[in-house]
Amino acid sequence: MSDGPVVLLGCGRLGSAILEGWLLTNAVAPTDIVVLTPSEKPAAEVARDGGATINPPLETLREARCVVIAVKPAMWREALAPLLPHLGEQAVILSVMAGVTAPTLAEGVGPWPIVRVMPTTGVARGRGVATVYAADAEARALGRALFAPMAVTVDLPDEAAMDAATAVAGSGAAYFYAMTEALARGGEAAGLDADTARTLARATFVAAAESAGDEPLTELIGRIASPGGSTRAGLNVMAEGGRIEALMTEVVAAAVRRNREMGQN
Ligand SMILES: NC(=O)c1ccc[n+]([C@@H]2O[C@H](COP(=O)([O-])OP(=O)(O)OC[C@H]3O[C@@H](n4cnc5c(N)ncnc54)[C@H](OP(=O)(O)O)[C@@H]3O)[C@@H](O)[C@H]2O)c1
């Protein structure tokens, strides 16, 4: 694997999180980082202070080992096109875009190997989740090397699983937050004032996440929900007619559909 610069194309919400994660974990040495961004970004300025290069002439990208595409799916062709004539044959194209498939990327990119990575913004704190798919073994290894220091990283054997993985890992935090809001509203309906309900629900959500560890979730549930107890009574309502599974199946399916639609550009 070559040791050349890693080019980050796009420094928005996810691009900035990736940059912060690299700086935090040294997954990429700061002096190996090149950021291409149309506007100034705080994360890019911090990276510059650490030795990264921001918006150099494109002719300097010949030695790049990787280009990480972190622009919106509708923008990638236009954003990537000016770089392509300047890349050497060792380069790997890494996309973190939702929905844009490897064959679609290959069509617009040309001969370079492609790896798709779907990270969460938790990479900024070194605590993300990332799924990796590449047909090419070296490209997959590079994807892992760039993300494993800052994310629980899972290889997907099949690209078709990427949209589902994105819906679970990429969107999942928002679903847990929405569930926490709903729990608070449930508390309000049962007589708590809104602030108290929100404080309790949120603190419980954080504590539950912190204590999740590696144990099977059914065991964790069993420790709280004794047979015939009040937690079990609530869980029974969630399980009635399979409604919690049915709800989350629909939620994930909707996110998968939307990922596919967005990738059609
Ligand atoms: N946000 C997430 O949690 C998340 C998670 C998984 C995957 N993704 C994927 O990550 C990608 C970016 O999402 P995002 O949420 O970070 O969007 P975003 O905040 O809108 O960031 C996109 C960035 O692309 C930059 N950009 C536009 N044209 C460019 C060009 N020609 N060259 C270089 N940069 C250019 C924009 O710069 P300006 O700000 O200067 O306009 C913007 O900062 C998307 O494809 C999305 O599917 C995001």
Is residue 70 located within the same domain as residue 196?
no
- Cβ atoms within 10 A of the Cβ of 238, count? 11
Q: What pLDDT was estimated at residue 265?
A: 56
pLDDT tens, residue by residue, 96-153: 998 899 999 999 888 899 999 999 999 999 999 999 999 999 999 999 999 999 999 9
Q: How far is the CA of 171 from the centre of ligand 1 (A)?
A: 16
Residue of the CA atom closest to atom 48 of ligand 1: 14
Is residue 153 located within the same domain as residue 177?
no
Count of structural domains, the chain: 2
Is residue 38 located within the same domain as residue 89?
yes
| Three-state SS at 59 | helix
Is residue 184 located within the same domain as residue 226?
yes
Task: Please identify every stretch of the chain with a pLDDT value under 70, giving residue numbers as ranges.
Answer: 1-2, 263-265
Q: How far is the CA of 119 from the centre of ligand 1 (A)?
A: 13
Residue 81 counted as domain residue = yes
Q: What SS3 string covers 70-108?
A: CCCHHHHHHHHCCCHHHCCCCCEEEECCCCCCHHHHHHH
Residue 218 counted as domain residue = yes
What CATH number has the domain bearing residue 111?
Answer: 3.40.50.720
Is residue 91 located within the same domain as residue 24?
yes
Average pLDDT, rounded, for the chain: 94
Q: How far is the CA of 231 from the centre of ligand 1 (A)?
A: 42
Is residue 141 located within the same domain as residue 174?
no
Is residue 103 located within the same domain as residue 223?
no
What CATH number has the domain bearing residue 219?
Answer: 1.10.3730.10
* Strand order across the 128-133 sheet: 53-54, 33-36, 6-9, 66-69, 92-95, 114-119, 128-133, 151-155
Q: How far is the CA of 15 from the centre of ligand 1 (A)?
A: 7
Q: What pLDDT was estimated at residue 105?
A: 94
Q: What pLDDT was estimated at residue 99?
A: 81
Sign for the CA dihedral angle at 243, 246, 248, 251 comes to negative
73 with 265: CB under 8 angstroms? yes
122 with 108: CB under 8 angstroms? no
Is residue 90 located within the same domain as residue 184?
no
Q: What pLDDT was estimated at residue 170?
A: 85
> Measuring from each residue's beta carbon to the nearest atom of ligand 1, which residues come in under 6 Å?
9-15, 36-39, 70-73, 75, 79, 96-98, 118, 121, 170
Q: In terms of residue numbers, what domain contains 233?
A: 166-262
